[in-house]
Copies of this chain bind each other. A is one copy, B any other.
Amino acid sequence: MRALPDQITISEVSKRSGVAASALRYYETLGLINAERTEGNQRRYPRAILRRVAVIQVAQGLGLSLTEIAAALAALPAGRGPTPADWERMADAWRAGLEARIASLTKLRDSLSSCIGCGCLSLETCALFNREDRAAVRGAGARYLMGDRPEG
């Protein structure tokens, strides 16, 4: 009565979630997930890991970095899947982020449209040069795309 029936291997998690085993190991180094080990040091996951991985995927799809996701998941009980309440709280915060992103993209589009309309080439004074708008466009990766550095 040692091995519970819901211990699954990394390749099974990989198959069921669509996330490569190497990626799952990588997530572990970042503290997004964790696993118990067999006597021979192999990972064994509880079934609830699938939900946790699913949430990670959704969050990534929303454009969050793994670090941000790690922070969100850190608020949850240990290595298990989130409860409906947890999920609701997270999703709500993420939706707000999404909406902000949509808003700035819309603003950007409007600027571009009016820029086309007026045929302006005095770009220096153009609304498109608003830094905030530009920063909001970037998705995952390329975090230091523009103006994020101290630059001595």
Contact = CB atoms under 8 A, between A and B. Distances in A.
Nearest to A123: B54
Contacts of A18: 147
- Number of this chain's copies in the assembly equals 2
Interface residues of A, number: 53
A138 B146 CA distance: 16
A106 B102 CA distance: 7
A64 B75 CA distance: 35
Contact of A140 (B81, B99, B133, B138): B138
A33 to B, nearest CB: 15
20 contacts: A18-B147, A50-B124, A54-B129, A58-B123, A58-B128, A60-B146, A62-B108, A62-B137, A63-B137, A83-B121, A95-B109, A101-B105, A102-B102, A102-B105, A105-B105, A139-B139, A139-B140, A139-B141, A140-B141, A141-B142
Interface of A: 18, 20, 50-51, 54-55, 57-58, 60-63, 81-84, 87-88, 91-92, 94-95, 98-99, 101-102, 105-106, 108-109, 112-113, 115-116, 119, 121, 123-124, 126, 128-129, 133-134, 137-142, 145-147, 151
